[in-house]
Amino acid sequence: MAHLKLYDRKNALVAADLLNDRVLPWFEAQEVPLLRVLSDRGSEYCGNVEHHEYELYLAIENVDHSRTKARSPQTNGICERFQRTLLVGVACRRHRVLPRCFAQKALLQP
């Protein structure tokens, strides 16, 4: 499942906003609790709960936060590949050549 929203910055507040605006409402509509999220160790996702908007939001919503292991390209590679596939899909849709363009570009990318 992917939730997409475009922002002009990348920080903890934006990450928390996406959870609040798109992710949690979707899970609530499905009547499925969101128990855990997995993120990389970027500064927008990791910090002290008392001073970090994303960590604070997860604590308030009682969602566990798992992080990828440091220097673990296997786990991070899966996430990076998924993000690239989404970006190719957005680019193809913008040029109104979906799904053929999407399939070709997604398959050609390593």
| Domain ranges, ordered by start, for the chain | 1-67, 70-110
Cis upstream peptide for 33 (omega within 30°): no
pLDDT at res. 20 = 92
Question: 40-91, pLDDT tens digit by residue?
Answer: 777 788 888 888 899 999 999 999 998 877 776 666 677 777 777 777 777 7
Q: Mind giving me the DSSP string for 40-54?
A: -S-TTT-S-TTT-HH
Mean pLDDT in residue range 96-109? 52
Say what the pLDDT of residue 63 is.
93
CB atoms closer than 10 angstroms to residue 69 = 12
pLDDT over 70 (residue 105): no
